[in-house]
């Protein structure tokens, strides 16, 4: 029964619908809007623009390949969500992994649920849906919360209700943004966990945060060991080895480099600007992808 319903919903292509409806539908009150908005239709991938409000900045290539293989065998089980723009153009609201995976296997269309939204509604939908459905890294979640508070003008209490999280959970994520940018990048790249980050928040000095962060990565400290180290530091019972301050040009570029390469990036540099950068890869295919980016 479910299959029959899905087939009926997808049976009429976008072109057929647009022939019967105005291409300038901008609100639900426009003529024939009900024939297009709220329906699921096959949309050409070339007719869909990327979502400028997408909170996720890193897409694991191996996971995308697995999803692409699944789509090749079973199709896109859950339609993506788009908002209608001018004419036959649409903008992605949610489902970027499904969109990317469909392109990866050279599909030309994708099933999509059509909505109408202004930029503010678009931002809120994209952020809330991604927070709820995707396994964002802790910093991406924190940045999404921050954008909802600053751009949608929500209080932390309103935000907690909107995303279905306790207010204390929202607070814990947002406190991570007080960490040194190097540590935030390390968390995004998986070198440390959110638990490590929460422990480091209790260290006032950015220099001491970085010293402890270096020790965590080098000695593979657990969250419990990190908490004990921070406790000892605050009580004056222990000291950490001083590390060379990382130049600002490195700090400011780590996140951009990680996003560009789509891989974990490790950078070390001295105060004179001399250092090295390590780019991680997961397979021969991933290595070749990175190599092509360097051409």
User: Does residue 124 have an active-site annotation?
Assistant: no
Taking Cα atoms as reference points, which of 125, 176, 120 lies closest to residue 146? 176
DSSP category for residue 229: H
Token duo for residue 65: 């390949």
Helix ranges (DSSP H) in 95-153: 96-104, 119-133, 138-151
Cα dist. 135→130, 258, 266 in Å? 8, 18, 22
- Please state, as a whole number, how many other Cβ atoms lie within 10 Å of the Cβ of residue 237: 10
Catalytic residue among 20, 61, 62, 96: 96
Instruction: Give the chain's length.
Output: 295
Max CA-CA distance within the chain? 76
68-73 long-range contacts, Cβ below 8 Å, gap at least 24? 68/101, 68/102, 68/104, 68/105, 69/105, 70/101, 71/98, 71/101, 71/102, 71/105, 71/107, 72/105
Catalogue the active-site residues: 96
């Amino acid at each position: 029964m479910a299959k029959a319903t899905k087939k009926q919903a997808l049976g009429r292509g976008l072109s057929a619908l647009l022939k019967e409806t105005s291409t300038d539908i901008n609100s639900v009150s426009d003529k024939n809007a009900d024939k297009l908005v709220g329906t699921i239709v096959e949309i050409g991938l070339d007719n869909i623009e990327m979502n400028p409000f997408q909170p996720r900045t890193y897409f694991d290539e191996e996971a995308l390949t697995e999803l692409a293989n699944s789509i090749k065998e079973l199709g896109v089980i859950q339609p993506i969500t788009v908002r209608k723009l001018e004419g036959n153009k649409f903008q992605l609201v949610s489902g970027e992994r499904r969109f990317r995976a469909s392109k990866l296997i050279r599909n030309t269309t994708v099933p999509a649920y059509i909505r109408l939204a202004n930029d503010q509604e678009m931002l809120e939908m994209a952020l809330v849906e991604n927070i709820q459905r995707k396994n964002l890294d802790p910093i991406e979640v924190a940045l999404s919360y921050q954008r909802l508070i600053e751009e949608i003008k929500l209080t932390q209490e309103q935000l907690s209700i909107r995303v279905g999280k306790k207010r204390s959970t929202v607070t814990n994520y947002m406190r991570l943004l007080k960490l040194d940018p190097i540590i935030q990048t390390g968390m995004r790249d998986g070198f440390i966990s959110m638990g490590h980050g929460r422990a480091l928040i209790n260290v006032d000095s950015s220099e001491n945060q970085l010293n402890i962060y270096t020790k965590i990565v080098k000695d593979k400290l657990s969250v419990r060991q990190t908490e004990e180290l921070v406790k000892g530091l605050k009580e004056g019972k222990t000291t950490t080895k001083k590390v060379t301050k990382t130049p600002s040009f490195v700090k400011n570029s780590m996140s951009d480099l990680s996003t560009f390469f789509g891989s974990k990036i490790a950078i070390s540099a001295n105060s004179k600007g001399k250092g090295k950068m390590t780019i991680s890869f997961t397979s021969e295919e991933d290595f070749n992808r990175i190599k092509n980016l360097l051409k």
